[in-house]
């Protein structure tokens, strides 16, 4: 739910175990597959090199682990942690079936209390995770990421920027109106609008040499099956929440009704975009 982290478990995008929005393994995996190429390019900017010890902080189902281990090579080591025990179990099963070039240590736990010693890692990768944290939790998490990274090591955070969501055909202000309404109270909507401030949060946490870029991920009709599999239910869920907030139902009807002539998934000029912020700093 956009307005609360205490949404019912049956709401699209909420795990039964933690209640956090948009984190169920099937949904997070669908998002990863829809944006796979862009995500790989973003990871390539993180500066991870052969022989490094790397932490995947908030690993979800382990989607990034093959790429991370390929970057570190046989001389490196990758650790991964996630709050959801289901995610850790899924990632563990996948790691057991993959022929990875270096060991992977998987643990269940929170990035606000990392079970690692100071200065353990050469680099940290944290993807689509800090959007789930309140401001107070984010401060603690950044301090933890800095603590477990050796001096001079890299801390990279990739997060969704909700301000870049758009669909065509459609009102260009559609998602801006939704996030303005939903973000009026503390919760997930506020947190996914915080991504472009990451550079400031990281600096305040004592992370140095922070550089940041925002990347627009765009999808054009005809959409791939992976794009349809993620965005169709995601947009239908957001449309339902928008009307629940009192926004005009007519504006959101095309995203609720797959047969609507203005539904982007059936329109020859359909278009979808989302934003991702990549912020990189030095411990």
Structural domains of the chain, ranges and CATH numbers in brackets: 25-163+182-220+271-282 (3.40.50.150)
Q: Which residues pair with 282 in a beta bridge?
A: 154, 208
pLDDT tens-digit profile, the chain (283 residues): 343 333 333 344 545 355 666 666 668 889 999 999 999 999 999 999 999 999 999 999 999 999 999 999 999 999 999 999 999 999 999 999 999 999 999 999 999 999 999 999 999 999 999 999 999 999 999 999 999 999 999 999 999 999 999 999 999 999 999 999 999 989 999 999 999 999 999 999 999 999 999 999 999 999 999 999 999 989 998 999 999 999 999 999 999 987 898 999 989 999 999 999 999 999 9
**What pairing do the DSSP bridges indicate for beta strands 121-127 and 53-57?**
parallel
Tell me the C-alpha to C-alpha distance, in Å, between residue 168 and each of 94, 200, 221, 256: 37, 32, 10, 14
Gyration radius (Cα) of the chain, Å: 19
Cβ atoms of 132 and 161 within 8 Å: the answer is no
pTM of structure: 0.91
CA distance 96 to 103: 10
- Distance between alpha carbon 68 and the CA centroid of its chain, in Å? 16
């Amino acid at each position: 739910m956009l307005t609360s982290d205490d949404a019912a478990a049956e709401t699209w995008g909420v795990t039964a175990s933690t209640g956090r929005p948009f984190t169920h393994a099937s949904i997070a995996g669908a998002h990863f597959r829809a944006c796979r190429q862009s995500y790989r390019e973003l990871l390539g900017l993180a500066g991870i090199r052969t022989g490094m010890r790397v932490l995947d902080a908030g690993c979800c189902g382990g989607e990034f682990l093959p790429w991370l281990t390929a970057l570190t090579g046989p001389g490196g080591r990758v650790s991964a942690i996630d709050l959801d025990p289901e995610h850790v179990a899924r990632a563990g099963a996948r790691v057991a079936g993959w022929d990875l070039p270096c060991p992977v240590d998987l643990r269940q736990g929170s990035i606000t209390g990392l079970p690692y010693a100071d200065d353990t890692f050469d680099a940290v990768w944290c993807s689509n995770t800090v959007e789930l944290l309140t401001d107070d939790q984010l401060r603690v998490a950044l301090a933890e990421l800095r603590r477990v990274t050796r001096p001079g090591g890299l801390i990279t955070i990739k997060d969704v920027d909700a301000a870049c969501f758009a669909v065509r055909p459609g009102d260009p202000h559609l998602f801006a109106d939704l996030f303005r309404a939903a973000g009026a109270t503390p919760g997930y909507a506020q947190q996914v609008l915080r991504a472009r401030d990451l550079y400031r949060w990281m600096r305040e946490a004592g992370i140095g040499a922070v550089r940041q870029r925002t990347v627009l991920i765009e999808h054009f009709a005809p959409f791939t099956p992976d794009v349809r599999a993620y965005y169709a239910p995601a947009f239908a869920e957001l449309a339902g929440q928008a009307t629940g907030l009192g926004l005009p139902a007519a504006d959101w009807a095309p995203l609720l009704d797959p047969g609507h002539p203005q539904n982007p998934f059936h329109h020859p000029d359909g278009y979808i975009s989302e934003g991702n912020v990549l912020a990189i700093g030095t411990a």
